[in-house]
Chains A and B, each alone.
Chain A
Amino acid sequence: MLLREVKEILDAEILAGEEYMDREVEAAFSCDLMSDVLAFVDEKVLLLTGLTNLQVIRTAEMLDLSNIVFVRGKNPDDDVCKLAKEKKMVLMRVRHTLFEASGLLYKSRLGAIKIEGE
């Protein structure tokens, strides 16, 4: 799914990376626990989260993950957007809850990531 489709489906406001709307994501992961993000996610994944601090951007950076949606209408600080722009990331903000935003994308056929069994 292209990021411009994500934006439309979620009626999102773009906070950083407007020029990268043609990027594609293969799956999405919704999570507020950054250690779980570090455990399960890789680069072509859209991250939906209610956390808006710098560590979200740092976590994404370590994973080469470039596309993030902040849910529940939360607005990150300027330094978060600044670092995201530096790292060529896309940040979007939506009014939906995490559940609702995930559901809307899933209904539009954006799938989940696969978690390997132990």
Chain B
Amino acid sequence: MVESEKTIKLEYEVGKEEFSKAGLASSNIKKVLNQIGIEASVVRRIAIAAYESEINIVIHSEGGKITTEISHDKIIVIAHDNGNGIENLEKAMKKGFSTASNEAREMGFGAGMGLPNMKRTSDQFSIESSKGAETKVEMIFNI
């Protein structure tokens, strides 16, 4: 179990266009959260958010990593990629807006629901990005 003063940190690398591995990091995060006894509905929300972030890194970025920090009262999931950034954040947050490739669409993504799903499932959501730069999404889940 998590002790109040301790933080458990998990970190997974996510590769660019590694479609067949997409979901492995989120699957591992989910497994650990279940093992330490986090409530199922919270685990599901975190799994959805982590998975959407992972898919985003795979289909849109130059690769990146997903970090999960588990403390006594909250879980923070950070998806940080190596670029190339989001040109228009306001548009990107709109349901249905997507710049995904055909390959991503064939995998069942690119519906323009990724960022809205992450925002919906998390208790606090923030995103930093600009064209040509890295993108960092931080999601906080209260437990």
Chain A complexes with chain B: yes
Residues in chain A within 8 A of chain B (CB atoms)? 32-39, 42, 49, 51, 53-56, 58-59, 61-64
Tell me if A62 and B22 are in contact (CB < 8 A). Answer: no
Q: Among A39, A42, A53, A64, which residue has its beta carbon within 8 angstroms of that of B108?
A: A53
Majority DSSP secondary structure for residues of B touching A: helix
Tell me if A35 and B111 are in contact (CB < 8 A). Answer: yes
User: Would A56 and B26 be within 8 Å (CB), given that A35-B52, A38-B51 are in contact?
Assistant: no
Q: Among A32, A39, A49, A63, which residue has its beta carbon within 8 angstroms of that of B44?
A: A63
Interface size class of B (residues with CB under 8 A): 20 to 34
User: Would A39 and B107 be within 8 Å (CB), given that A61-B30, A62-B48, A63-B44 are in contact?
Assistant: no
What is the CA–CA distance of A61 and B19 in the complex, to the nearest angstrom?
A: 16
Majority DSSP secondary structure for residues of A touching B: helix
Tell me if B47 and A62 are in contact (CB < 8 A). Answer: yes
Residues in chain B within 8 A of chain A (CB atoms)? 19-20, 22-23, 26-27, 30, 40, 44, 47-48, 50-52, 55, 106-114, 116-117, 120
Residue of B nearest to A53 (CB): B107
